[in-house]
């Protein structure tokens, strides 16, 4: 049973990098990922023939039921990890503490099975090494330890020291799924996730789209999402796949999906379906006419996020970005040249005087928006300074086609006022990710504040947006 090659056939091989490096042998019975999304019951635990090949022999589940009963556990429903660990002679596990979301939610229990208390030094507790105390490891003694605290063990004995180690939770409802694994199944592990090889390709790519609005915190939000250990960025943050990079030459949906997957780490995601990915193209919100139809066709499952910001501040930041001298040649090309050499006031006046913008502001209808979009160029940022701030009108077709529960609306002002964590709690829940504490690092890709904005232009834009902002509150 201790032979890893035997376990690959009759049980399921589990990688534990640190323990494997120390030469610790293991018999794994139950195992979970770091976020308690998946708890796996391995064949040695539930199959009467897995560990011996002989029918009628007792399972580890039946043999260890007295240990569970002693802990007040009538069944294995609250157990998230259980294994036998064999520490070789002369090996020391250095001082460390366990990490991972599951650690703070579970109880760690040890049961010495084969040991010599006078020759095996197990120390635990305290914030410093000198504060750690020796633990009584008499054979058969069941004890709980705090594995979030520093602990270390040295086997000075001439034989392998064997402990049963198990972790259980108080509330089994926090476990998302439990699964019995057949002998020989292959686990595909990352540092924080565990998937099975037979689930290859079950993930749907991408899991989410940040659709806009431009200059409204989309880069910041995308960055914070990818702090989560179960999220990875794509090869491009802004793919523009559904607007100006749409592959007109590919007529079928399967081909379009295959082409779209090239923007993501598709093969790794197929191997690890617990991991999600997404993109952030802020022009999708405005260009609803082509984008909605294409998104519904290619990735109708994707969760959608719209980030909004005070529309006056958004317009000023937009102008600052487009007319900035920084950036790569490619970035400058995409920004366009139409506003260069013109003041903010001149750009605002030109937009508000344009007939198609006047109709948009007067009619406030989706028909007017569609007519307006026909005048907008693709692939350049030098347009729609005013229109991109008409959030309710832009959201209207998206909400109608996808439903309110599919679109999470996030406001930049909420991120600033309450910090990132409350916002990210909502975002992670919307994406189906377990809770995770982000490192608040401030805004990304930010450009100046409203103090630099010409006062008269600011007041004019506030009057323009006043009616539209009232409608937005209803959303």
- The confidence score (pLDDT) of residue 445 equals 64
Instruction: From 280, 271, 200, 193, select the one nearest 229 (Cα to Cα).
Output: 193
pLDDT at 202 over 90: yes
In Å, how far are 88, 155, 295 from 120, measured between CA atoms?
Answer: 11, 5, 61
| 27 bridge partner residues | 84
Question: Can you say how many angstroms the Cα of residue 128 is from the centroid of all Cα atoms in its chain?
Answer: 33
- The confidence score (pLDDT) of residue 333 equals 86
Residues 6+ apart with CB under 8 A from 365: none
In a 13 Å sphere around the CA of 362, the CA atoms on its Cβ side amount to: 8
Do 41 and 177 form a contact (C-beta atoms < 8 A)? no
Size (the chain), residues: 475
pLDDT at 409 over 80: yes
Q: What are 125-141's pLDDT values in tens digits?
A: 876 777 899 999 999 99
As a whole number, mean pLDDT of residues 432-437 equals 96
- The confidence score (pLDDT) of residue 51 equals 58
- The confidence score (pLDDT) of residue 305 equals 98
Cis status of the peptide bond prior to 191, with omega within 30 of 0? no
Q: What are 340-370's pLDDT values in tens digits?
A: 999 999 999 999 999 999 999 999 899 999 9
How much is the mean pLDDT over the chain? 93
Q: What are 239-295's pLDDT values in tens digits?
A: 999 999 999 999 999 999 999 999 999 999 999 999 999 999 999 999 999 999 999
pLDDT at 182 over 60: yes
Residue whose token pair is 């794509």:
234
| 164 bridge partner residues | 84, 111
Predicted TM-score (pTM) of the model is 0.90
Residues 6+ apart with CB under 8 A from 310: 412, 413, 450
Q: What are 22-73's pLDDT values in tens digits?
A: 999 999 999 999 999 999 999 999 988 775 555 667 889 999 999 999 999 9
As a whole number, mean pLDDT of residues 451-457 equals 89
As a whole number, mean pLDDT of residues 415-441 equals 93
pLDDT at 443 over 90: no
Q: What percent of the chain stands above pLDDT 90?
A: 82
As a whole number, mean pLDDT of residues 309-328 equals 93
As a whole number, mean pLDDT of residues 374-398 equals 92
As a whole number, mean pLDDT of residues 108-125 equals 96
As a whole number, mean pLDDT of residues 2-16 equals 92
- The confidence score (pLDDT) of residue 448 equals 56
As a whole number, mean pLDDT of residues 215-237 equals 96
As a whole number, mean pLDDT of residues 157-172 equals 97
- The confidence score (pLDDT) of residue 142 equals 97
As a whole number, mean pLDDT of residues 290-306 equals 97
- The confidence score (pLDDT) of residue 48 equals 80
Residue whose token pair is 């790569």:
328
pLDDT at 422 over 90: yes
Do 410 and 308 form a contact (C-beta atoms < 8 A)? yes
Q: What share of the chain is helix, strand, coil (3-state, %, to 5)?
A: 40, 20, 45
Do 304 and 402 form a contact (C-beta atoms < 8 A)? yes
Q: Which residue has the higher pLDDT, 87 or 334?
A: 87
Concatenated DSSP letters for 191-252?
Answer: SS-EEEGGGTT-S-S-SEEEEE-TTSSHHHHHHHHTTSTTEEE-S-S---TTTTT--TT--S
């Amino acid at each position: 049973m201790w032979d890893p090659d035997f376990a690959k056939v009759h049980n399921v091989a589990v990688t534990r990098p640190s323990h494997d490096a120390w030469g610790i042998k293991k018999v794994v019975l139950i195992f979970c990922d770091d976020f308690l999304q998946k708890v796996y019951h391995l064949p040695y635990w539930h199959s009467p023939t897995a560990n011996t090949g002989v029918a009628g022999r007792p399972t580890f589940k039946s043999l260890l039921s007295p240990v569970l009963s002693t802990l007040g556990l009538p069944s294995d429903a609250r157990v998230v990890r259980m294994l036998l660990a064999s520490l070789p002679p002369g090996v020391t596990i250095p001082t460390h503490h366990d990490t991972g979301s599951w650690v703070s939610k579970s109880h760690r229990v040890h049961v010495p099975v084969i040991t010599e208390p006078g020759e095996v030094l197990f120390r635990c507790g305290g914030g410093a090494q000198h504060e750690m105390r020796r633990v009584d490891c008499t054979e058969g003694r069941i004890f709980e330890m705090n594995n979030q605290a520093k602990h270390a063990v040295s086997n000075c004995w001439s034989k392998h020291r064997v402990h049963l180690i198990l972790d259980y939770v108080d509330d089994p409802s926090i476990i998302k799924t439990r699964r019995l694994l057949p002998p020989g199944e292959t686990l595909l592990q990352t540092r924080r996730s565990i998937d099975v090889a037979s689930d290859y390709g079950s993930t749907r790519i991408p899991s989410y789209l940040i659709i806009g609005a431009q200059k409204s915190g989309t880069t910041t939000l995308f960055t914070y999402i990818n702090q989560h250990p179960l999220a990875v960025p794509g090869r491009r943050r802004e793919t523009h796949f559904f607007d100006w990079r749409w592959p007109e030459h590919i007529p079928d949906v399967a081909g379009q999906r295959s082409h779209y997957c090239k923007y993501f780490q598709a093969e790794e995601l197929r191997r690890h379906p617990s991991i999600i990915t997404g993109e952030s193209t802020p022009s999708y919100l405005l260009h609803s006419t082509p984008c909605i139809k294409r998104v519904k066709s290619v990735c109708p499952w994707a969760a959608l996020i719209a980030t909004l910001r005070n529309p006056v501040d958004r317009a000023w930041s937009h102008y600052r970005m487009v007319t900035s001298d920084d950036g790569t040649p490619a970035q400058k090309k995409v920004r366009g040249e139409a506003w260069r050499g013109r003041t903010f006031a001149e750009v605002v006046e030109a937009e508000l005087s344009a007939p198609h913008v006047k109709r948009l502001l007067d009619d406030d209808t989706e028909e007017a928006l569609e007519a307006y979009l026909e005048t907008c160029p693709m692939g350049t940022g030098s347009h729609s300074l005013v229109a991109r701030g008409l959030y309710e009108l832009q959201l209207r077709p998206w909400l109608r086609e996808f439903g309110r529960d599919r679109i999470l609306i996030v406001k930049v002002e909420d991120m600033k006022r309450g910090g990132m964590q409350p916002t990210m709690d909502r975002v992670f829940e919307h994406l189906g990710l377990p809770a995770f504490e982000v490192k608040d690092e401030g805004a990304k890709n930010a450009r100046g504040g409203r103090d630099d904005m010409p006062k008269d232009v600011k007041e004019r834009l506030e009057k323009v947006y006043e009616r539209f902002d009232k409608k937005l509150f209803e959303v």
